[in-house]
Structure 1
Amino acid sequence: MLAAMMTAANLGARVTGWGFVVFTAGSIAWTIVGLTSGQANLTATNGFLTLVNLIGVWRWLGKQRAYEDGGKSAAEASRRSAYPTLFTATGIAGMPVAGNDGDPLGKAVEALVSCETARVSYVVVSSGGVGGIDEELRAVPGEDLAFACDGMTLKRERAWFEGLPLLVEGDWPATATSQESREKD
């Protein structure tokens, strides 16, 4: 159960990797039980699970951890510079979003980047609800957000944000229209 919570929590590569270490210890223990009690099915199943779990350890404590560490080191170096300018793109999810008055508005769920320009087309912002229950998702155009290393600030009034159409789960738009586009329509 501990390993399942560690991997399901999505708390980063290290926690997930150590979850796979716990899974590996458990599958090895069950393999030993299967061997000593003559239970071939238990031995075969947990032998296979040990292999799968070792791949998880390699992936999350090896490769993915190295990727996360590289991104974090670049972002930290940027923050130590005179003009911090970098944060990891994967770090957008979960970033707090504040209104233009500084009050919390919600959190970023995902950012969608234009293939052609490599600019943030829009950020999906979650507001309301608890733990994903009764949350409202809205697509906020990138141009309507001020990005910082530790969060984002909406450049518009809260009422403008609340007037954005709610997104349907699993059916997000190809683009989000800016305030100027909506005013022209």
Structure 2
Amino acid sequence: MIAAMMTAANLGARVTGWGFVIFVVGSLAWSLLGFFTGQTNLLATNVFLTLVNLIGVWRWLGRQRAYEDGGKSAETASRNSRYPNLFTATGISGMPVVTADGRPVGKAVEALVACDTGYVSYVVVASDGLAGIAETLRAVVREDIRFTCERLELVCDLDRFEALPSLGDGDWPAAPAGLQGALSL
């Protein structure tokens, strides 16, 4: 159960990787029980699960951890350089979103990037709700958000943000409200 919570919480490569380590220990223990009690189905299932869990360990404590560490090192190096401060694109997801005076609004769920320019078109912000239940998703145009290294700040006022139409699950627009009619081909 602990391993399941660690992997389901998606708290980063290390936590997820160590969740898979716990899964490996559990599947090895069940494999041994199956072997010593002659339960071939239990043995076969858990040998397979051990292999799957070892792939999870390799992926999360190996490759994904290296990716996250690389991104973090670039972020840290940028703070002490003459170049602009950086944060990873994957870091946008989960960043707190606040008003200009620091009041919490919600969290960033995703940023949509224009393929031709590489610039952020809009950020999807989740507000209200608890743990993803009954939350409201809104597409906030890039110009209405200021990016900082630790959070995203609304440049628009809270009333304008709350007036944005809510997005349906899995049905997000090509452009946020207000931009859809402004773009011409």
TM range (shorter): over 0.9
Change (3 A) 1:16 1:180: closer
The aligned residue for residue 93 of structure 2 is 93
The aligned residue for residue 175 of structure 2 is 175
Identical positions, percent: 65
Aligned 1:1-185 pairs, distance under 5 A? 1-81=1-81, 84-178=84-178
Q: Secondary structure at the match of 2:50?
A: helix
8 Å CA contact 1:98, 1:153 repeated in 2: yes
Aligned residues: 182
Distance 1:86 1:161 in 2: 26
Change (3 A) 1:180 1:55: closer
Distance 1:178 1:82 in 2: 36
8 Å CA contact 1:100, 1:158 repeated in 2: no
Distance 1:180 1:154 in 2: 20
Give the alignment's TM-score, normalised by structure 2.
0.93
Q: Secondary structure at the match of 2:130?
A: coil
Distance 2:118 2:178 in 1: 17
Distance 1:4 1:36 in 2: 26
Distance 1:102 1:65 in 2: 32
Distance 1:83 1:48 in 2: 48
8 Å CA contact 1:144, 1:178 repeated in 2: no
Cα displacement (A) at 1:131:
1.1
Cα displacement (A) at 1:81:
3.0
Gapped regions of structure 1 (runs ≥ 5)? none
**Which segment is superposed worse, 110-119 or 80-89?**
80-89
8 Å CA contact 1:94, 1:107 repeated in 2: yes
8 Å CA contact 1:108, 1:123 repeated in 2: yes
Cα displacement (A) at 1:103:
1.6
Question: Which string of whole-angstrom CA distances, capped at 9 and with x for unpartnered residues, describes residues 4-24 of structure 1?
Answer: 011001000000000000000
8 Å CA contact 1:143, 1:178 repeated in 2: no
Distance 1:79 1:180 in 2: 36
8 Å CA contact 2:165, 2:177 repeated in 1: no
Give the alignment's TM-score, normalised by structure 1.
0.93
Give the aligned residue type for 1:123: V
* RMSD (CA atoms): 1.6
Distance 2:38 2:4 in 1: 28
